[in-house]
Structures are given as C-alpha cells and as structure tokens.
Structure 1
Amino acid sequence: MNILLKSAKIVNGATKEIHLKKRDILIKNGIIEKISTSIDAPPKTKIIENKNLHVSLGWIDTGVSFGEPGYEERETIENGLRTSARSGFTDVILNPNSLPLPDSSSDIVFLKNAGKGEVTNLHPLGNLTVGGKGETLAELYDMRNAGAVGFYDFKQAVANANLLKIALQYAQNFNGMILSFPLDHQIAGKGIVNEGVTSTKLGLKGIPSMAEELQVSRDLFILEYTGGKLHIPTVSTADSVKLIAAAKKKGLNVTCSVAIHNIFKTDEVLEDFETNFKVLPPLRTSKDAKELIKGVKNGIIDFVTSDHTPLNIELKKVEFDHAEYGTIGLESSFGALNQLFSTEETIDMLTRGRKTFGIEVPEMKEGVKANLTFFDPTVEYTFTEAHITSSSKNSLFLNHMLKGKVLGTIANDQVYLND
C-alpha cells in the first residue's frame, strides 16, 4: 500500500531539522520512503490531505483495559484495538483485567495472538501474583518470554511487603518491570471518593490522600533496598509527586503515570452523584490537579494514560455507593490533553513510554517502518456518545468541550482513517 501525506506539519521534537516543518511523507509497503517539501504521488497511492494536517510518531497508552476474555460485553480485544487506532494510538499496554486473569505464559500468548493483524500493537501486562490474590508470585519469567511487558495486579497494591521485595529482586534477572498500585486498602477502608470538603458535604465516605502516599512511600523504601524497576500507575496526589521526585533524585529506577481524568477534573464535579465520575484513584482537589500537571510538565510524572476501563451499563446505572470504579478514555485522550497543554506538550506526553517498557521506539526518518498518527489540533467540539466507538459508554468526558481531532493512524503496513 502506498500512502502520501501532503503538506503535513511534523510534530517531533526528537528530530529538530523537521520539527514543526511542513513536509510531504511518502510511505510504501509500510516503510517511510521519502520526506520532502514536495512529492509527486506515484500510481495507486492513497493521498491524505487536510487544511491543518499535523503528523507525529504514533501514540502509546501505558494502561488500558478491555474485557476479553470473560467480559466481552464490555470490550473485545478487536474492538478495543480499533478504538485505540481511531483515537490515535499505535501501541497500547493492556492491563490484566479479564476473567481469567493472565497469570501464565499461555494467557499472554492468547492475548498476543488475539491482537494480531490490527493497526494498533497490543502489549499485555501479566498478573504479578497467581489469580491476582497477592499471595504467590505468578510465572513472571515465562510470561516475560511470552511477551508480557510488566507485572501488575490491576488496581491492587502489593499488600505483602516481602512479596514486593522478592518480586523486585527476582525480576532483575531478566530486566522485568514490577507495577504496584498506590493505595493502602486498610487506610482507604470503605471510602469511595476523595476525603475532603466535598465528601463531607455529600455524605460520602472518603479515601484520604494518606492512603496513597503511605503506599508510595513504602514501595519506594523497598525499591531503595532491592534495586530493580518499579512503575507506580495512576498517582493522584500532590505529595505522591513529591515522594517520587525525591526517589528519582536518589537515582532509584522508578516511573509513574497519571490518569488524564485526574488532571482534567476535580472532586467538585461529584455534587450531581454522576457515577461516571467514580474512578480509582478518586478525583482529588484542584491543588492536587495543579501539582499533577506540573509533575507531567517537568517529567517527574513519566506518562499520562487514559486508564480506559469499559464497564457495562448495569455496573454504572446504579446508586453512587454501589457503582463500579472506572471511565473509558481512549477517544477523549487527545482532546482533553490538548485542551490543557500546548500541542507540542500533548504530543510529547502521548509518545513517551515505549523505551521504559521495552517496546520498539519508532522514528520519523526515511527507510524505517511507518508508525504515525495524524491529526488536526485546532478542532473544538463537545464530546458526546457519537464520538465513542467503545462497546461501553461510561465516559467521564461526556458533554465536555475538547480540542483536537484525530484523523488517522498508520502502523503495521495498515492505515486507519477516521470519518
């Protein structure tokens, strides 16, 4: 397949000579053949033009959930990957959030095979412990050999400190990545939203910031003792950012992410008891959101993630106390980030992460495989269900103004074009 991007503004800070320059880009059989100020289209070439066409390296989301196997009504892998491609992502890291949980090499092989043949590449995480029960380490080495890029009991902290110690020590033998969710469940108790003025006013049980910060502090202390690679997914408090900044200053090999909705909204929106705003970690205060944004800008927070968690309607259309945690976020990721940050900052955030998880990093140059996302960063619109291609519609971003439209993606010698 031949594809020609015409007069596309390149957003790629890593390649200074073409950064923010308008160029034609010719792709033949999945390879970038030529980047030039003007290229004549060869025969049988698909030409992609737009009055405000921008292009960057393909985007990556470091934490998404689908449903398959076990919860296909929430999201199949096929539809999840096509939603990812439509949303601009050429790589996604899949959370272990299915039934059965992926805690063996055969489970990882199943997930890898289910994701073949799509524009978007699927990179599964394996469970850290057998059955996600937090008791016995799963087959980490075998899962790594089968294609797992890290090990994580989804939304579960490693409660057993010794188990985390052993996992970090063991995984160093094969450069494995250990993930630990930042929440002390004993401190959190039966809390369901951020503990503060809003929770008190609404009569909802709160999760104190301390529940996150104690867990982060303990995990960092263990990491300092053991060495190894630790990733802390979806931090949500100002003091968590400070703790991680101090750990990085010490030279510890720690990375972290923030969910886009935790920097886009605060707990003030809970006053209508809208269950789509029930997420974990919970929406925090404006002070927390400001520090999280600052952490993303200065690199203390390594990645942003949609934390895409599709849930069928009966898990959300219930009383707030009984609703499940989670929001979808793939389709709204670019528009939400581009509303908060400059386009250059947004693209930088959306292209970080591959190297940390051992995934091949694409390049914007002639002779390499095309892994690209193209978009118009100026389009403003109200996000509605019409913009959602996920099987589940539980979006925190519904009816919010977003900025920026994804036009398509190119990867694996395929192109996905949006309407």
Structure 2
Amino acid sequence: MKMQTAKGVFDTPPEEKIIKNQVLNTLTEVFELYGFAPLETPVIERFETLAAKSGAGEESDALKETFQLTDQGKRKLGLRFEFTTSLARYMAMNTNIKMPFKRYEFGPVFRDGPIKLGRYRQFWQCDVDTVGTSSMLADAECIAIISTAFQKLNFDFEIKINNRKILNGIMTHAGIKEQKEALIAIDKLDKIGKEGVAKELEERGYKKSQIDKLFELILGKVTLTSLKKNLTDPEGIAGLNELEELFSYLKKMNVKEAVFDISLARGQAYYTGTVIEAYLKKSKINSSIAGGGRFDDMIGGFIGGGRIVPAVGVSFGLAPIMDAIKMKQDLKIKTPAKVFVLPINALEESLEIVQELRNAGINTDISLGKKGVSNNLQYAAALGIPYVVIFGEKELAQKKVRLRDMVSGKETLLTVKEVIKKLTKK
C-alpha cells in the first residue's frame, strides 16, 4: 500500500514547524500586548451547535463544507470549521464571565472545500475576539492587531473594511428583501466576478433591475462620502457613521493599511456590522490571510432569552501566512539547536559542557554516534545548526573548546563561559 496523506491535509516537517512556532509566538506576543487572554475549546462540536441559525446557518458555505461524524451513541457531530461558533457556545455555558471578555485561541480547523494555494482541508486559525462591548474601539483594536502582527512578520499587506449595515442599506435601496442570500453571493465578487455574482443572484430569484441597482452602488469607485449622498436607509446611514468613527480611531492608532471596500461582505451570515479582510500585496496568494468582523447577535442567540451580547473579532489563517513566508525565504533550519557539541574521545566530559550550555538557555544538540568529525560537521550543516563546539584531549588540557562558525568556517579557541557569552549576545 502506498503511504500518503488524505487529500488537502499535510505533514509539517521540522523546518516548517520551527517557522510556524515562530509565527505563533509572534501572534501570541501581539495578542497579549493588546490585553487578550488564551482560551482552548474542543475540536469536535455537536453538529446542531455548528448548524445553529445564530451561528454559521444552514445556507453558509462553511456549514456545507463541515466534516460530519457520528459517535457510538449515534449523536451527530462535526469538526469545527472556525472558532467563532465554539466561542459563542463557550459564552453561553459561562454567562458569569466579566465583560468585556478578550480572548485568543489557536488550533486546527477543518473544511471539506476546494483546495488551492493557501486553502487546505485542515488548517490552523489564530483568533482574537472581544465580547461584551459595542464600542468601535474594540473593532479598531482588532484591525490594529492585524497591522501590528503583519508588520512584525515583514508583510506588505492591505486591510479591507466594510460594514454589513451599509450593505443592508444598499440592498434595501435596490429593493432586495431577502438579503442573506444576496450577501453570500456578493462575498464571491473577487472569486467569480460581476458576471458570476449576477448569475448566482438570478438563480436565487432576484430580478435584473434589482441586480443592476445593486451593482450601481457596489461597483466602481465608492467612498464613504459618495455613499452619504446616495444612501437614505437608516440602517445604511448607521453603518456609515460607525465606519467614520472606526477610521478616526485607526488614524489615531497610526494604522495606515486600512481601506474601505464596499464589495467586502464575508460569507458567514452572523456578521452584523464591521467586516474585515487582510490581503498580501504583490503575492501569488490571493485569498485573505486574516478576516473577521462584528457579530452582535450570535452569542446572545446561543444564550437565549433575547439577550444581546455584542462581539467583534478577527481570525488569522496560518496556512497562507506560512505559504507567504516560504515564498520569501529558504527554510534551511531543521532543528531549534543553536549549537552542536562534537566530542573527540571525550564523551563523559562533553556531557558537563552540554549541560552548562543548556543551563545558559542555549539550545544544544550532541553527537550520539561515532561518525567522525567530517560526517558530524556534514550532519550539523544539513540541519542548519549555526555553531559546532569541538574538543578532544588537547582542548580539554587547556580547559577550552573550539567554536566553529558553520557559515564562515572560522574556528576560535574559547572557554565554555566565553562561548556562552558570545552566543547569548546573538
């Protein structure tokens, strides 16, 4: 039998996992910089939770792409396709949490959807959400987090922003009453174009006059100022006011990558206000690398009793982020070890030196076999280890070791304390 992974999933070899951990560490640092706390929820949820109308809803692409399973008790379950539904379920089970509740969560999510660069069937998401406030400052924080994180990752990016209330107002202006299906179609504008969206809207029963009126307001150069002149619907005007407030906060926070995009809708039905997507500029990756928005009705829908629990959040797609990093750099480092210790007929003495290096916080590996100096150096080079500590009887007699720089090939005779001082400076 030929060994292979299932379609759309993949192994993460050490050289990629090291970079992945660095990305996760960067995101953790940024999330906590903004005061968010970690949360962990199960990979498996009850299917009825995932399908709740207050969540993804029966018409969403995410629910259609859900991996479904049944346990031995014949209960219908599903693999989570994102974290937002799990967050809503968690909040419904823990109603005494102090608000606002600011949390982040990392982990794998699953979708049985089309596969392309940056989109897979198992992929990691990194979510950050604020629950319990309708302040646009919370929305601004989410956008600022995207900006801060991607600056730290040295990405050239753009953050597109819209508001569902504006889109709802535009659809009311166009005479469209069944707005949920229209939003799902509009969200595909970048993927299938104007003709594709028009065709889908026609198939869903919308009139050509409605579609034309809709396109008049969402295609071409649309600004908040131009919309204020043309939009009279109260909900649409409320959305415009929210975006004006949001952009004023972003200006004060020095977030320069945010732009208004009237065609941005996002597919999930639960969004109620701000919607956000981030894209890389000049990249082969054309899918969003982060996205989210405001979902003020969802959590209250899970809790019940007519309770309103406003919330806003964004999700980072780790797969497209990793793809972008792999395109920018050659992943040569296959181990976290910074030093490889190579003893020559001095194994017992080497253990003391190895432990001294590790106690100083230096990631250290050691030769485990009798390969000889040349083969061990080749091994260290293949793993991308930057330094090798070499010593035998001659060096030990001087209470020193040879530190070899694997890039330059230069060797320096140093004491172990001098090695530690040199490597902990870097």
**More relative contact order, 1 or 2 (CA 8 Å, 6+ apart):** 1
Select the structure that is richer in helix. Answer: 2
Question: Which TM class, normalised by the smaller chain length?
Answer: under 0.3
Q: TM-score, normalised by structure 1?
A: 0.26
Larger Rg: 2
Q: TM-score, normalised by structure 2?
A: 0.26
